[in-house]
Structure 1
């Protein structure tokens, strides 16, 4: 659309320029001819002077008339750039309600004009400064104790496009200096007088910012200004109070450091005590475990000895029983076979004798006499 507007303006301007050039050229020729006419009393030359060309007023007028429509159409096209909005102002009735948003709009040439406003975010900044040589740019206020403080404040805001008619008809042209700055200054000055200076510097700084942001947004919204954000960047304290506060903060920091070190040492002592107690408990547990192991070992040994004794007793009993049974069986066998006695005696008398001849007559065998003497002695006893 801008290209069309510029083309129409170029076409109209070209036609007007052509009409002007034609008229100027004809006028120049006319003046040249008149300057070359002979004066009164002079003899005319052989060649007659060229007749003067008439000025082409009609052609110039036609070109001017042809240039009017493109220029009128171009002037009736209004393109509002992005980030801006406009208010239509009539030369007859004054400002007209309604907002012209970014884009193409049609206006009445030579009657309507458009006042553009920036609807992007704007920033109002007040920098804190405690140097008396510099111009006080910061927001100066007082604390509850009556001490002077300088605040560094930043407010981000924008104009409400829906209320541009009201802004144009009721607010000053410099919204930043004449509207935003007084509202921000008064809001913070009303708040800071209710807080001690130490709260302004550290304790309730964010609380003050939030309350001030609410008040600023409420006041400016009534004038068609939308507040996006309020930032309290810095609080500049008086020099003497700042030095005293710094010394006090250093002492508090030192006390906190000593407290932390003391707590660390107490924790180290507690850890050492816990480690010693843990080592003692471990030693006690190990001693108890060893005693329990020894007791279990002694009990196991006692059980083992008891089992061995019982086993030995059982073995002895079984051996005795076996011997008794053996003797009984041997007595039965000997009773049934008396000749075995002689064999047994012979085997026990000499291990060198491997073969023994026993006479058939048992009565004449010496073993019979031995047995009889043994049996007789035993009976006598």
Structure 2
């Protein structure tokens, strides 16, 4: 019970002013029903517009799922699109070039290397990268059949399977030497068929690395080294044979040339002998040509058919010097 004479208790009680009963307070804010309907309509309209407008980014396609009719067959290309609000749901799919790597030191979202066996049964480890893209025109079928997790449900298992099957068709030595391109072609051919069935487009298969046991690699390297040495020796032998054949051909050519030269000389001598026989004067002409100019001779074209030695002729025609006459004895 409060003591009315106790001023202390009366002052300690808080005094609350009632704005309704206090005419000096601020007037209350009142919203008319009409304004409330307008604000509510604007909010609902904005929500409807936000749900009906969808923007597809560049490089993506949108697959529309309708709560009434299911997946719509025509995907939405990049740009602005209108859908049925609260009924249609747009699922984005990346239609750009993508890649998945299966390697030992793969990224966080990738798996490890592919282990397979060669034609001889040797263990081979392959690091592979596959580059692909989805079929834009069949994105709706991809969404309906595989869903957004198609990389893990289809792509990776198919890649591992096709790589193992293709490696099993080749020998280990061929894979690390000269059959790498053929292996890539085999994997590409088989993987293209699998991707086509799942509405994916294969762009490229890249064999990053092929590993075989170290002991096998050393044996293959030694074998290849021996084969290369044999090839070098074979090339040397072929070069020697070619050189010998060239010498034989040159000798045969020289022999044929000598024979033809001898034939020509014999024919020339025969013709010359026939000419001398038919023309005896040519003998004197030939002798004169051989003797001239060291020997002074004169050829007389007479029927005697002889040569006259000018020196002997000069000796014969020179007068003999006279002997001095002895003085006469007196008395004779």
TM-score, length-normalised on structure 2? 0.65
Q: In structure 1, what is the equivalent of residue 214 of structure 2?
A: 239
Pair 1:102-2:56 in alignment:
no
Which piece of structure 1 moves more, 137-146 or 85-94? 85-94
Q: How far off is 1:242 after superposition? A: 0.3
Q: In structure 1, what is the equivalent of residue 240 of structure 2?
A: 265
> Structure 2: any 5+ residue segments left out of the alignment?
1-14, 284-300, 304-332
Q: How far off is 1:128 after superposition? A: 6.9
Asked if the contact 1:172–1:178 (Cα under 8 Å) also holds between the matched residues in 2, the reply is no
Pairs within 5 Å for 1:235-314: 235-305=210-280
How far apart, CA to CA, are the structure 2 residues paired with 1:280 and 1:62?
Answer: 122
RMSD of the alignment, in Å?
3.7
Q: How far off is 1:171 after superposition? A: 1.7
How far apart, CA to CA, are the structure 2 residues paired with 1:39 and 1:139?
Answer: 81
Q: How far off is 1:88 after superposition? A: 0.7
Structure-2 change in CA distance of 1:40 and 1:52 (3 Å): closer
Asked if the contact 2:101–2:111 (Cα under 8 Å) also holds between the matched residues in 1, the reply is no
Q: In structure 1, what is the equivalent of residue 121 of structure 2?
A: 146
Asked if the contact 1:140–1:150 (Cα under 8 Å) also holds between the matched residues in 2, the reply is yes
Q: How far off is 1:74 after superposition? A: 5.7
Pairs within 5 Å for 1:1-381: 49=24, 51-52=26-27, 54-55=29-30, 62=38, 65-66=41-42, 69=45, 72-73=48-49, 75-91=51-67, 94-127=70-103, 137-202=112-177, 204-305=179-280
Across the two proteins, how many residue pairs are aligned to each other?
A: 265
SS of residue paired to 1:173 = coil
Q: How far off is 1:172 after superposition? A: 4.8
Asked if the contact 2:102–2:128 (Cα under 8 Å) also holds between the matched residues in 1, the reply is yes
Asked if the contact 1:141–1:150 (Cα under 8 Å) also holds between the matched residues in 2, the reply is yes
Asked if the contact 1:144–1:193 (Cα under 8 Å) also holds between the matched residues in 2, the reply is yes
How far apart, CA to CA, are the structure 1 residues paired with 2:17 and 2:128?
Answer: 88
How far apart, CA to CA, are the structure 2 residues paired with 1:212 and 1:220?
Answer: 12
Q: How far off is 1:228 after superposition? A: 3.3
Q: How far off is 1:269 after superposition? A: 2.0
Q: Deviations over 1:191-239 (max 9, x none)?
A: 4335432344446554444343332222222221122333445432111
Of Structure 1 and Structure 2, the greater strand share is in 2
TM-score, length-normalised on structure 1? 0.58
Asked if the contact 1:86–1:116 (Cα under 8 Å) also holds between the matched residues in 2, the reply is yes
Q: Deviations over 1:279-311 (max 9, x none)?
A: 333333333333333434444454554899xxx
> Structure 1: any 5+ residue segments left out of the alignment?
1-37, 42-47, 130-134, 309-314, 318-381
Structure-2 change in CA distance of 1:253 and 1:39 (3 Å): same
SS of residue paired to 2:261 = helix
Of Structure 1 and Structure 2, the greater helix share is in 1
Asked if the contact 2:102–2:111 (Cα under 8 Å) also holds between the matched residues in 1, the reply is no
Q: How far off is 1:167 after superposition? A: 1.7
How far apart, CA to CA, are the structure 2 residues paired with 1:141 and 1:240?
Answer: 17
How far apart, CA to CA, are the structure 2 residues paired with 1:185 and 1:101?
Answer: 32
Task: Please tell me whether Structure 1 or Structure 2 has the larger radius of gyration of its CA atoms.
Answer: 1
How far apart, CA to CA, are the structure 1 residues paired with 2:200 and 2:63?
Answer: 16
How far apart, CA to CA, are the structure 2 residues paired with 1:288 and 1:128?
Answer: 83
How far apart, CA to CA, are the structure 2 residues paired with 1:140 and 1:249?
Answer: 25
Q: Deviations over 1:50-73 (max 9, x none)?
A: 643625566576456456656644
How far apart, CA to CA, are the structure 2 residues paired with 1:103 and 1:153?
Answer: 35
